[in-house]
Amino acid sequence: MKFRKFSNIGWNVSEIGLGCWGIGGNWVDVKDNEAKDVLKKALDKGINFFDTADVYGDGRSEKFLGKLIKSTSEKIYVTTKTGQRLRPYIPEGYNLKTIEKFIDRSLTNLGVDCIDLLQLHCPPPEICSKKELYEMMDEFVKKGKISYYGVSVFTISEAMNAIKFPNVKSIQIVFNMFRKKPIEIFFKEAKKKNVAIIARGSLASGLLTGTIDHNTKFNTNDHRNYNIKGKSFDIGDTFSGINLKKGLEAVERLKNILPENFTLVDLALKWILMHEEVSVVIPGATNKFQVEMNTRATDLSEISSLFPKINSIYEELIKPDVHNRW
């Protein structure tokens, strides 16, 4: 496993982390022992960065990570997210009293006194530029409940607003071969300000694994079923907002340019890692095999010679539908 600098806070994190929505959420049936196996395999493969949220399985994911923290002597970094528990989900809900209550719940779930990194979980865009939001987060740092904070966002404009504030240490954003817009302006600005980039949606909800086809059926509680039109949350986090028919066509064309001994997962993750501004990519896994597959990319040879072909597929099939939406 290779490691990368994370912001300016002295962390060296595995360039491939683990997204823990899958092991804790209710959209994939993962038993407790299977989740434990996934986390153990992640440690064995050198992963030291784990991303979760308080709404993943209503805290189930956080509790799994709490057990991991207790069971290992290795230095690991656990980041969780807050804000999506708000009901009703309104900007006014982002106040010190309410968010502190959510933080205290996460501290209990994780079994820690202080959260390594707390991310605001895709807050309403109208408050991403409000200094009061970040002053509130500074208060939690002063209280010793969180060490650092960042923001998970849907759009480039939200990211650009968030990094105007000096204590924002990270931005989590969708970034993959089908969602390339962050490269244009955001990456350069984040690097200039020493803001870490956490790349989520790296496999486009499984589309970039190459295992999904037109006949694939998803459970009723799987967001790839109920959120296919963006009814529950931003459609950009389901198949990266891509029209499935066009996405599958693009996947077939990507398969035709795979280097020898590369899987599509290898290509997808290596492409992200080729961008030095990315601090960590966080593909999810619901079994040990997927962890194994997700971590191969760190040791694979560079693929810059394929960039023109990958870009051509993006320009023709994907860009017209997604590039200006996020």
Q: Can you tell me the distance from the alpha carbon of 228 to that of 249, in angstroms, rounded to the nearest whole number?
A: 18
- Asked if 157 and 125 touch (Cβ cutoff 8 Å), the reply is yes
Query: CA 205, CA 227: separation in Å to the nearest integer?
Result: 12
Annotation marks residue 134 as catalytic: no
Rounded Cα gap, residues 197 and 276, in angstroms: 10
Q: Which of 317, 268, 324, 298 is nearest to 15 (CA)?
A: 298
Q: Which residue among the candidates 56, 94, 148, 149 is catalytic per the annotation?
A: 56
Distance CA 224, CA 206 (A): 9
The DSSP element (H or E) to which 170 belongs, if any, is strand 168-174
The total number of residues shown for the chain amounts to 326
* Number of other CB atoms surrounding residue 247 within 10 Å: 23
Q: What's the token pair of residue 2?
A: 């290779």
Catalytic residues: 56
